[in-house]
Amino acid sequence: MHEPGQEEKTYVLNFGPQHPSTHGVLRVELQMEGEFITKAAPDIGYGHRGHEHMAENRNYQQFLPNMGRVDYLHALAYNQGYCMAVEKLTGLEVPERAEFIRVITAELNRIASHLLWVGAYLLDLGAFTPFLYCFDDRENILDLLDRVTGSRLTYCYYRFGGVPKDIDDEFMAGCRAFITRLRGRFKDYDDLVTKNIIFIKRTRDIGVISKEQCVRYGLTGPMVRGSGIPYDIRKSEPYSVYPRFDFEIPIGERGDIMDRYLVRIREMAQSLRIIEQALDKLPDGPIMAEKVPKRIKPAAGEVYQAVETARGEFGCYIVSEGDIKPYRIKLRVPSFGNLSILPEIAVDTLVADLVAILGSIDVVVPEIDR
């Protein structure tokens, strides 16, 4: 309550769900004092689809296409996580060639996700040209993945026991051409974005997240690596054939927006290294396990499988009661945990900085509203 005659200095501002920089249906209720934020409360659930409940009413194969709709920007990582969980539950052995194909396509999809983030993020901050550069590069990846998956966004390419379609010489040649192309483009991104004084002023020492905060909030992906913690599921809890490849985990020093940006840029370079090694070492052989049952009916039990997506750790927990349908599926998605720190780091920042901070988290709202 304010005293009679006293000027009211605080007010409430709705940031979204229609604001373009919320990228969909995320609303953040802001308490403001002038241009400064005193409280930020994310309001989620506008696009809830009930994926986990749908899983309990479908058999294992029927639920597989849902994975491409949870995080539509890195759908293949979700394909992989779910397939690996079911394979672990049923004891299916994936052929070596299929594992390599999964890694190649998942890493291409990771780069496509990061390119979209860079382009859209710079658009949020007022720069249009990088958006065109990023989508020009991303289009090359979509053409490659379209060739083997039949899709350009919500992929459903992996199957329990392997992959349904092999990659050919044209696809591999296209991958090598793209690797050369993107490596040559990093200098353009460096000149256009990284060294841009406006971008530096908008990101350096803004939205700083400490290591202690990362642990407390369970942050994963570029969020935790930007704060200097080299946690990556591909190294920390190795899966598939990732242990066979030589790659580094980029980390930041200050934990600010700039570090999170640099981590994602450097991750793309590391993904190119992984793809190139996988193409060089690609073994011959089958792409599907032998005698995969037409209807999956695992024994009673439970399993958890985590994979590294473009946004962090995706974990799939399945409880089976020996039926063709899972008793329970729980999806641990990275955006939900990463967004949870926003109310703490948004306090005492400007509204304009909130746009930069929220964008640096790289939230996919349908992933939160699963």
pLDDT in tens, the chain (370 residues): 445 554 567 889 888 777 676 666 888 999 999 889 999 999 888 888 889 999 999 999 999 999 999 999 999 999 999 999 999 999 999 999 999 999 999 999 999 999 999 999 999 898 899 999 999 999 999 999 999 999 999 999 999 999 999 999 999 999 999 999 999 999 999 999 999 999 999 999 999 999 999 999 999 999 999 999 999 999 999 999 999 999 999 999 999 999 999 999 999 999 999 999 999 999 999 999 998 998 999 999 999 999 999 999 999 999 999 999 999 999 999 999 999 999 999 999 998 899 999 999 988 888 888 7
Specify whether the CB–CB gap between 168 and 106 falls below 8 A: no
Q: Which residues does 76 contact at the CB level (< 8 Å), separation at least 6?
A: 102, 105, 106, 109, 145, 155, 157, 158
Rg (CA), the chain: 21
Pairing of strands 36-43, 27-33: antiparallel
Q: Write the CATH number for 70.
A: 1.10.645.10
Burial of 9 (0-12, 13-18, 19+ CB in 10 A): exposed
In a domain, 3, yes or no: no
| pLDDT value of residue 25 | 80
Render the burial of 344-365: b for 16+ CB within 10 Å, e for the rest. Answer: ebbeebbeebbbbbbbbbbbbb
In a domain, 4, yes or no: no
In a domain, 239, yes or no: yes
Residues spanned by the domain of 24: 10-368
Distance CA 361, CA 31 (A): 21
Can you tell me whether residue 4 is helix, strand or coil? Answer: coil
In a domain, 313, yes or no: yes
In a domain, 339, yes or no: yes
In a domain, 174, yes or no: yes
Distance CA 331, CA 67 (A): 10
Closest C-alpha to 196, from 248, 128, 249, 242: 128
In a domain, 131, yes or no: yes
pTM: 0.94
Helix, strand, coil percentages (3-state) for the chain, rounded to 5, are: 50, 10, 35
Specify whether the CB–CB gap between 152 and 139 falls below 8 A: no
| pLDDT value of residue 3 | 52
Distance CA 131, CA 122 (A): 7
In a domain, 5, yes or no: no
Specify whether the CB–CB gap between 199 and 193 falls below 8 A: yes
Specify whether the CB–CB gap between 74 and 335 falls below 8 A: no
Number of domains comprising the chain = 1
Distance CA 22, CA 361 (A): 11
| pLDDT value of residue 4 | 56
Distance CA 309, CA 220 (A): 10
Specify whether the CB–CB gap between 180 and 196 falls below 8 A: no
